[in-house]
Structure 1
Amino acid sequence: MPLPAKAFQRWLHGIAPQASTADICRISGVKRTTLAQQLVRGKVAESTVVSISRAFNINPVAALAAFENYGELGGSPMLPTAAELVSQIATMDLLKAVIARSAESSRAGDADQPQPAPPLTPVPHATSVKNWVDAIDDGELRHRVSAATGIAPQNYSAQLTANRLTPELAIATAKAAGTGLTGGLVASGMITEAEAGWPRGARQAALDALSDGELAALAGDRLQSLGKTLKRQEQDHEQTKTIWENLG
């Protein structure tokens, strides 16, 4: 839910009382036309607050918590579950981990030192939002979110498929699941893992904690899902191609 312009201006005056709008935009990278349009409409995007807070070395979560709409973000954050952490590991990283473990098994007893794990793909990745929701879904989560927010289930699913989730829905989803409120903000790319208070290296630790069987099963599920997505894209491409050929 966009933030009221008046509340935003009060917040802005509080963190940078001497800065002009031009200064704010120059330092934060927010376009002056974008900010001006938002102020005229009376609704400022959460991403604007995040960008400005970073420019002034303010934690974005604390900045959002200063607004009534997001006051629940205040206080000590709840750490993500292992399932949430694993959900934020890209499919290709899972496959690399499977290959790496297989290579280590074949070298069992070899004197060579094990190779350090390559850095994980930054969050968000291609399916981070849907993976996060799936990780915290008990089977009824989508229905509870729909009932709590009024969003139609198909519209909610469309956001997940597009790998995006509005901040309001991200927090509503976390509340409905009983998990930390910042998980969806990380998955959607609104804030970083560090800004959410996630321990450094937490995703890698969660990946390392998976047994070989768990890792293989998870990678297989991800590949199956990826295959279905690619197949749909190919079918859509063929249908579009056929339509153009008929029109031509």
Structure 2
Amino acid sequence: MPLPAKAFQRWLSDVAPDTSTADVCRLSGVKRTTLAQQLVRGKVAETTVVSISRAYNINPVAALATFEAYSDLAGSTTPPTDKELVSQIATADLLHAIIARTAAGAGAGAAGTGNGTGPPELSPPPHATSVKNWVDAIDDGELRHRVSAATGVAPQNYSAQLTANRLAPELALATSRAAGVGLAGGLVASGLVTETEAGWPPGARQAALDRLSDGDLAALAGERLQALGKTLRRQEHDQEQTERIWENLV
């Protein structure tokens, strides 16, 4: 939900008093034309607030919380669950972890080693399927219906966003509310804010990965690869159809 331009201007005057719009844009990397268009339309994108916040060393989540639509963020202290944390680990990193455990001689079916045998450093969120993985991690089977009822967004439109690995900030917040988890999780999964900005403990994803048993890690990686295979086969099928259409047109 884009932020009201008047509320944004009040916020900006507090953040950067006596600073020209040109200077704000230069420091934040926001294009002057983009900001001007948003102000004219009366709706400023959340990404604009995030970029300006970072430029002025303000936590983006705290900045968003000053706006009415995101005020709930101010009181959200619920930490991410292990399932949420693992959902934000890229498939390639899961495979590296399996290789590392195997090389270290971890027994099949043993509990996670807990000694950092995964990759030296996990890739930061988001990854190729981070949004859908996050929703799947917190879904009790009825989550999508609750989000649809609360927001008025049709289930098919919601699913389309997940398939495209994106989630509008207001939908991310609504999803967190409906699932009863920390409110900033969806903002991390969609790439709007970083895990650090969301208040996730340092090394939390790696710790959650280490807590996975070897069997659970292998099963999760297998599920990811199976989903990737379906996506690739679908893309290949679409490409073949496109090529056949062009052949018939030539």
If the length of structure 1 is used for normalisation, what is the TM-score?
A: 0.95
Per-residue deviation, residues 129-180 of structure 1 (Å, max 9, x unmatched): 0000000000000011111111111110110000000000000000000000
Match of 2:240 in 1: 238
**Do 1:77 and 1:196's aligned partners in 2 also have CA atoms closer than 8 Å?**
no
Letter in 2 for 1:87: S
Per-residue deviation, residues 36-64 of structure 1 (Å, max 9, x unmatched): 00000000000000000110111001100
Pairs within 5 Å for 1:121-140:
121-140=123-142
CA distance in 2, matches of 1:122, 1:85: 11
Letter in 2 for 1:129: V
Give the % identical residues. 77
Match of 2:222 in 1: 220
Match of 1:154 in 2: 156
Match of 1:94 in 2: 94
Q: 5+ unaligned residues in a row in structure 1: which ranges?
A: 108-113
**Do 2:79 and 2:182's aligned partners in 1 also have CA atoms closer than 8 Å?**
yes
**Do 2:86 and 2:209's aligned partners in 1 also have CA atoms closer than 8 Å?**
yes
Per-residue deviation, residues 182-203 of structure 1 (Å, max 9, x unmatched): 0000000000000000000000
Letter in 2 for 1:170: A
Residues 102, 165 of structure 1: CA spacing in aligned structure 2 closer, same or farther, 3 A cutoff?
Answer: same
Give the 3-state SS of the residue equivalent to 1:74 in structure 2. helix
Match of 1:64 in 2: 64
CA distance in 2, matches of 1:140, 1:62: 30
Match of 1:172 in 2: 174
**Number of equivalent positions:** 243
Asked whether 1:18 is paired with 2:18, we answer yes
**Do 1:28 and 1:52's aligned partners in 2 also have CA atoms closer than 8 Å?**
yes
Residues 37, 106 of structure 1: CA spacing in aligned structure 2 closer, same or farther, 3 A cutoff?
Answer: closer
Residues 133, 209 of structure 1: CA spacing in aligned structure 2 closer, same or farther, 3 A cutoff?
Answer: same
Letter in 2 for 1:30: V
Cα RMSD over matched residues? 1.5
CA distance in 2, matches of 1:196, 1:3: 19
Letter in 2 for 1:102: T
**Do 2:88 and 2:189's aligned partners in 1 also have CA atoms closer than 8 Å?**
yes
CA distance in 1, matches of 2:223, 2:200: 26
Per-residue deviation, residues 48-103 of structure 1 (Å, max 9, x unmatched): 00000110111001100111111111124211000000000001111111111111
**Do 1:137 and 1:177's aligned partners in 2 also have CA atoms closer than 8 Å?**
yes
Q: 5+ unaligned residues in a row in structure 2: which ranges?
A: 108-115
Residues 212, 25 of structure 1: CA spacing in aligned structure 2 closer, same or farther, 3 A cutoff?
Answer: same
Letter in 2 for 1:189: G
**Do 2:143 and 2:178's aligned partners in 1 also have CA atoms closer than 8 Å?**
yes
CA distance in 1, matches of 2:117, 2:150: 48
Residues 44, 71 of structure 1: CA spacing in aligned structure 2 closer, same or farther, 3 A cutoff?
Answer: same
Per-residue deviation, 1:116: 6.9
Match of 1:110 in 2: none
CA distance in 2, matches of 1:115, 1:96: 9
Deviation beyond 3 Å, 4+ runs, structure 1: 114-117
Letter in 2 for 1:233: Q
Match of 2:29 in 1: 29
